[in-house]
Amino acid sequence: MISLINRLFDFEAVIDQIWLITLIGMAVLYILCNILPDRIVGVFLPLHNVFKPQTNVDLDYQSIGYALLHTTWVTRITHSTVIIDAVLWFVIFESWHWSVSLMVLLIMLVQSVFIGDKKFGFFFISMGIATYISAIYLIQFLGLPHAVLLAKVVLMLGGLMRMLSHSAELIPPLLLNNSDQFQKLSAKNINWKIPLSSIIGYVGEFGSGLPNRILPVQVNYLYQTVLGIKPETTLAWKEVEVSARKVLTGGYSQLHSLKNYFKSVVNGQ
């Protein structure tokens, strides 16, 4: 592995430039999703409100949205690496300053408190600590420069692979037309928003690897389905899947929260 990373150092300048552009793009996307009206962002980035703090602590909404947009084995496999991404993000945080990692762990704790399910909170915080410790071990094993370069490359490739895998999914509402239905992409209905949304999607998928983004959903799935533990206050995963299937076949109108989201985009809020 060391020899492979040493080869990457030959391209370090290019990697750092692409990393900086992607990192800035992620920050800008988060800001725009929170300050621009839904009618502007929502027609290019499906369910963009998952980037908003108030929605980020709604585990049911996040879980249904995840199940809704990841129905094929391709997207499920490419998104299963988010746990690895969390480790690599902690490597990046440690390279900035140890206090950044501490701040992220505190954010995860606050996120758990607002979600309000004690069982989920225990497993989510445990996962956060585990990924942080794994990052420390990776830094000690490879050395900080090697670990950081590896993290940058894998995080960017992970975002790219997750974005590309969505081509196997149905196109979400509002990208092809103003209906609330999921549709198949074809040569007849493709429009200019599709390639633009793909670029935005890469940045969004890059950011999805952050420890507080998709990781909570995957922890929610794992502790329920693998360990067989029932949640206290959030939806059971079977209910999440049922809700997602209803929306996938019947449109956003089948779920109150998504119906409101659809209205906020179409009605110009």
pLDDT in tens, the chain (269 residues): 677 888 888 899 999 999 999 999 999 999 999 999 999 999 999 999 999 999 999 999 999 999 999 999 999 999 999 999 999 999 999 999 999 999 999 999 999 999 999 999 999 999 999 999 999 999 999 999 999 999 999 999 999 999 999 999 999 999 998 899 999 998 888 999 999 999 999 999 999 999 999 999 999 999 999 999 999 999 999 999 999 999 999 999 999 999 999 999 998 65
Helices H / strands E in the chain, number of each: 14, 0
Q: Where are the domains of the chain?
A: 2-266
47: three-class secondary structure by DSSP? coil
- Strands (DSSP E) contained in the chain are none
pTM of the model: 0.93
Indicate the length of the chain as a whole number: 269
Instruction: Give the DSSP letter of residue 6.
Output: H
The answer to whether residues 193 and 185 touch, using CB atoms and an 8 Å cutoff, is no
For the chain, the farthest-separated pair of C-alpha atoms sits apart, in whole angstroms, at 55
Rounded distance between C-alpha atoms, residue 176 and residue 185, angstroms? 8
